[in-house]
């Protein structure tokens, strides 16, 4: 009996390659009657040679049983190895983020727009990670973790954001906030356009891609969208009229609750809807479009991750993507009425955010999370409420225009305050260099662990395929079956395989040879023929990679398209009822059961991908908000 974690047993087991050879030998026509011959090169072989044809079935059965046991042990051993490599990679990523700072601030400069008549290129000057603003005859320098100049692409921005997203998959709470004056490109960065998708759609795609390549974890995703508007929280995905706070519905102002562990949940919000209901949710979002007003938009992706077996508890992490709303000073805009009230509410919210950040910076005493809905919602992603487990990124947006330089300086000062949460920001030159060296070292460690992990993943895949095949072979030959358990092969399939009409029309019926009198057991020659037929069929119905389960629960308007129809079917199955480990070896059967028809589906591609369509992923929000600049 193999005990999980017994490394000696695992390391003394035959390798996948060796077992592959052995299984190949079992069904090889070159070996005697389909049986392996003992070889001096393989003393450890679990399969032996036979001379008495009557003893053959029992010995062969034992040999296959041994092979199955070894393969199962091999898979367990490889999974353990992968888990430890994965932990190493996560630790390295975490170290990198810690050395870089768990609260980071990037700055993005918007390019000049057609509407910008006066273009003074001297106002904003970007030098590496520094930015100089020339304003009223004086120059002011600001340093950030990264500065994106006017010509930076959406891709450039996302590349820098991506490591933080990965830490959400690793179980950390992450918060990415876009801050800045109205019209400086917050929505452009977060949502983007159909052709130039921003962080939100790219994040979804990235998360799905990464989850779909991780076969040892199961992931679930839920997506929610909230708006903080005039001090109330509303569910942007709720059907009308409950989402209309200004129409006085009591349901619209959702309660924010914090559990004893400091985890925040929004009471009664957010239907969890599977992809199949996207159209319905899409309609809901569109319905809310005419409610033009100005609030703060919060997109939340909850990532559920479990280790792929029933003993492993599911861990949850939250990823917040927040458009903080225009930060401009209201006197300057000359706003009145509702616009003025909306502006005031946003500014109060931002100032509460600033206070929370300042308190976090002090690292002691009371943190005033309760002063605004925004900070209450983001509480468990903003900082030290329950350890240094959270990662935050602020993307401050500025305009290149001279007439905006006052607002630009205000935004940059705010961002500077956020950045100062990390005490080691302004390091002397040699400490900075040392820090950069450390980052490079850990990045190398992480890359190595990733590469090693990929290798082990491939080995697991191979071993699982082999195990699946061997079990199939074993069950086909030795498992006692009653008459109802006939495996029927479609006549046309048999015709293709065998080329003889006669054999094709008969379903292949399997009986346990050991349960029959010896005179009724198959002869060596008939077993050989039978084996050849089985192999042909097996090679046609290609073995599938065991499903690693990724399920999606959406309450958003996003539509997800899967590049592989078979995967979609399997996915729907896994959403309805998570398969057990044993079932994971037979995904084709699962899929067949699910749609209730015989599966002619081609085998699942090795690298199945879950893709998103950007155009569909674009949340129809921009029209939902009124731009301050339009009103001036
Ligand atoms: N990096 C960029 N490249 C090209 N166009 C940009 C960029 N940033 C912003 N824009 C354009 O500038 C305009 C204003 O941008 P956007 O609506 O994203 O600003 P905002 O800060 O979200 O404003 P609001 O506070 O009103 O929501 C849009 O037309 C947008 O396409």
Distance CA 381, CA 385 (A): 8
pLDDT classification of 134: cutoffs 50, 70, 90 = confident
Give the residue from 223, 185, 226, 219 showing the smallest Cα distance to 203: 223
ipTM for this model: 0.98
Binding-site positions read 180-187
CA 197–ligand 1 middle distance (angstroms): 13
pLDDT tens digit sequence for 144-157: 889 999 999 999 99
Binding-site positions for ATP read 180-187
Give the residue from 513, 491, 514 showing the smallest Cα distance to 504: 491
Kindly calculate the radius of gyration of the chain based on its CA atoms and give it in whole angstroms: 31
On whether both 394 and 457 belong to a single domain, the answer is no
> pLDDT at residue 512 above 50?
no
> pLDDT at residue 530 above 90?
no
Number of structural domains the chain divides into:
2
- Least confident stretch, 171-175, 252-256, 550-554, 593-597: 593-597
Report the atom number in ligand 1 closest to the C-alpha of 628.
26
CA 124–ligand 1 middle distance (angstroms): 17
Instruction: Record the tokens describing residue 553, joined without a space.
Output: 């629960």
| Beta-bridge partners for 322 | 177, 298
Q: Mark out the alpha helices in 121-173 (DSSP H runs).
A: 154-169
The CATH number of the domain holding residue 355 is 3.40.850.10
Instruction: Record the tokens describing residue 424, joined without a space.
Output: 């080691």
On whether both 490 and 391 belong to a single domain, the answer is no
On whether both 389 and 492 belong to a single domain, the answer is no
pLDDT classification of 208: cutoffs 50, 70, 90 = confident
- Least confident stretch, 64-68, 128-132, 587-591: 587-591
HEC states along 593-631?
HHHCCCCCCCCCCCCCCEEECHHHHCCCCHHHCCCHHHH
Neighbours of 184 (CB within 10 A): 28
Neighbours of 392 (CB within 10 A): 24
Kindly state whether residue 459 falls inside one of the protein's structural domains: yes
On whether both 404 and 460 belong to a single domain, the answer is no
On whether both 274 and 355 belong to a single domain, the answer is yes
pLDDT of residue 535: 52
pLDDT tens digit sequence for 411-433: 999 888 877 765 455 566 777 77
Task: Please choose from 114, 153, 179, 183 the residue to mutate so as to test ligand 1's pocket, defined by most ligand atoms within 8 A of CB.
Answer: 183
Q: Summarize the confidence of residues 207-225 as an average pLDDT.
A: 78
Kindly state whether residue 312 falls inside one of the protein's structural domains: yes
Q: Summarize the confidence of residues 378-396 as an average pLDDT.
A: 71
The range of the structural domain enclosing residue 226 comes to 159-411+612-631
Which residues sit with their C-beta closer than 6 Å to ligand 1? 110-111, 113, 180, 182-188, 326, 397, 625, 627
pLDDT of residue 383: 65
Kindly state whether residue 310 falls inside one of the protein's structural domains: yes
pLDDT of residue 153: 96
Instruction: Record the tokens describing residue 509, joined without a space.
Output: 């019926």
pLDDT classification of 8: cutoffs 50, 70, 90 = very low
pLDDT tens digit sequence for 265-300: 777 655 544 333 334 444 444 454 435 567 888 888
Neighbours of 261 (CB within 10 A): 8
pLDDT tens digit sequence for 304-360: 887 655 556 777 888 899 999 887 766 666 667 777 888 888 888 888 988 887 787
Instruction: Record the tokens describing residue 354, joined without a space.
Output: 């600033």
- Sign for the CA dihedral angle at 588, 591, 595, 596 comes to positive
Distance CA 353, CA 373 (A): 10
Give the residue from 98, 53, 137, 25 showing the smallest Cα distance to 387: 98
On whether both 166 and 311 belong to a single domain, the answer is yes
CA 560–ligand 1 middle distance (angstroms): 26
Q: Summarize the confidence of residues 189-213 as an average pLDDT.
A: 85
On whether both 495 and 619 belong to a single domain, the answer is no
Distance CA 128, CA 550 (A): 40
Q: Which of 540, 561, 579 is the last residue in one of the domains? A: 540
Give the residue from 257, 184, 228, 244 showing the smallest Cα distance to 350: 228
Kindly state whether residue 602 falls inside one of the protein's structural domains: no
Instruction: Record the tokens describing residue 194, joined without a space.
Output: 């159909």
Task: Please choose from 107, 109, 110 the residue to mutate so as to test ligand 1's pocket, defined by most ligand atoms within 8 A of CB.
Answer: 110
Give the residue from 479, 488, 473, 472 showing the smallest Cα distance to 512: 479
Kindly state whether residue 57 falls inside one of the protein's structural domains: yes
pLDDT of residue 544: 33
On whether both 241 and 350 belong to a single domain, the answer is yes
Q: Summarize the confidence of residues 421-450 as an average pLDDT.
A: 73
Q: Which of 507, 540, 573 is the last residue in one of the domains? A: 540
Report the atom number in ligand 1 closest to the C-alpha of 154.
1
pLDDT tens digit sequence for 562-571: 233 333 333 3
Kindly state whether residue 165 falls inside one of the protein's structural domains: yes
On whether both 392 and 512 belong to a single domain, the answer is no
pLDDT tens digit sequence for 220-266: 888 888 888 888 888 877 765 544 444 444 346 777 877 777 677 77
Decide the pairing of beta strands 130-135 and 256-258. Answer: unpaired
Give me the residue label for tokens 């009591």: 250
On whether both 320 and 398 belong to a single domain, the answer is yes
> pLDDT at residue 513 above 70?
no
pLDDT classification of 557: cutoffs 50, 70, 90 = very low
Query: φ and ψ at 148, to 5 degrees?
Result: -100, 115
pLDDT of residue 315: 78
Kindly state whether residue 472 falls inside one of the protein's structural domains: yes
- Which has more pLDDT, 128 or 408? 408
Kindly state whether residue 89 falls inside one of the protein's structural domains: no
Q: Which of 517, 540, 563 is the last residue in one of the domains? A: 540
Give whole-number Cα distances, 408 to 110, 343, 539, in Å.
11, 17, 65
On whether both 290 and 376 belong to a single domain, the answer is yes
Report the atom number in ligand 1 closest to the C-alpha of 150.
1
On whether both 380 and 497 belong to a single domain, the answer is no
pLDDT of residue 22: 53
CA 349–ligand 1 middle distance (angstroms): 21
């Amino acid at each position: 009996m193999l005990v999980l974690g017994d490394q000696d047993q695992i390391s003394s087991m035959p390798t996948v390659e060796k077992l592959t050879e052995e299984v190949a030998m079992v069904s090889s026509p070159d070996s005697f009657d389909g049986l392996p011959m003992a070889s001096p090169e393989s003393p450890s072989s679990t399969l032996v040679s036979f001379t008495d044809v009557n003893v053959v079935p029992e010995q062969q059965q034992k040999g296959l049983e041994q092979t199955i046991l070894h393969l199962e042990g091999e898979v367990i051993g490889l999974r353990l190895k992968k888990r430890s490599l994965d932990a190493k990679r996560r630790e390295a990523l975490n170290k990198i983020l810690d050395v870089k700072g768990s609260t980071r601030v990037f700055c993005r400069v918007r390019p000049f727009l057609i509407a910008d008549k006066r273009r003074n290129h001297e106002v904003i000057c970007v030098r590496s990670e520094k930015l100089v603003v020339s304003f009223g005859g004086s120059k002011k320098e600001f340093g950030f973790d990264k500065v994106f100049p006017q010509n930076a692409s959406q891709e450039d921005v996302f590349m820098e954001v991506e490591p933080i997203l990965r830490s959400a998959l690793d179980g950390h709470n992450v918060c990415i906030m876009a801050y800045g004056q109205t019209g400086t490109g917050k929505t452009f960065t977060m949502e983007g356009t159909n052709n130039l998708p921003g962080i939100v759609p790219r994040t979804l795609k990235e998360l799905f891609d990464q989850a779909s390549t991780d076969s040892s974890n199961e992931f679930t995703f839920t997506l929610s969208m909230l708006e903080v508007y005039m001090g109330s929280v509303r569910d942007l995905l709720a059907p009308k009229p409950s989402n209309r706070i200004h129409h006085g519905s009591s349901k619209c102002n959702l309660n924010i609750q914090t559990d004893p562990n400091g985890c925040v949940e929004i009471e009664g919000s957010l239907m969890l809807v599977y992809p199949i209901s996207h159209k319905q949710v899409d309609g809901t979002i569109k319905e809310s479009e005419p409610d033009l007003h100005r609030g703060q938009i919060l997109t939340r992706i909850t990532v559920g991750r479990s280790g792929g077996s029933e003993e492993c508890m599911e861990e949850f992490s939250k990823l917040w993507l927040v458009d903080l709303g225009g930060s401009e000073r209201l006197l300057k805009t000359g706003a009145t009425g509702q616009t003025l009230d909306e502006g005031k509410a946003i500014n109060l919210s931002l100032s509460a955010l600033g206070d929370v950040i300042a308190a976090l910076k002090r690292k002691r005493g009371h943190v005033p999370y309760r002063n605004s809905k925004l900070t209450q919602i983001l509480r468990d992603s903003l900082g030290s409420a329950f350890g240094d487990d959270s990662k935050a990124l602020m993307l401050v947006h500025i305009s290149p225009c001279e007439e905006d330089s006052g607002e630009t300086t205000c935004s940059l000062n705010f961002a500077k305050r956020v950045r100062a949460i990390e005490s080691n920001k302004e390091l002397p030159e040699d400490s900075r260099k040392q820090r950069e060296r450390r980052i490079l070292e850990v990045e190398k460690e992480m890359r190595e662990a990733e590469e090693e992990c990929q290798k082990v993943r491939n080995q697991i895949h191979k071993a699982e395929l082999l195990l699946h095949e061997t079990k199939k072979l074993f069950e086909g030959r030795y498992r006692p079956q009653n008459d109802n358990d006939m495996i029927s092969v479609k006549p046309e399939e048999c015709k293709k395989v065998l080329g003889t009409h006669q054999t094709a029309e008969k379903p292949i019926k399997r009986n346990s040879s050991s349960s029959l009198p010896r005179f009724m057991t198959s002869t060596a020659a008939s077993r050989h023929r039978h084996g050849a037929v089985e192999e042909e069929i097996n090679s046609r119905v290609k073995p599938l990679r065991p499903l690693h389960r990724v399920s999606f629960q959406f309450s958003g308007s996003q539509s997800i398209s899967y590049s592989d129809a078979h995967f979609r079917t399997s996915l729907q199955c896994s959403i309805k009822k998570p398969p057990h480990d044993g079932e994971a070896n037979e995904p084709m059967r699962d899929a067949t059961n699910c749609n209730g028809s015989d599966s002619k589906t081609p085998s699942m591609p090795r690298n199945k991908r879950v893709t998103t369509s950007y155009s569909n992923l674009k949340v129809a929000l921009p029209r939902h908000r009124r731009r301050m600049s339009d009103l001036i």
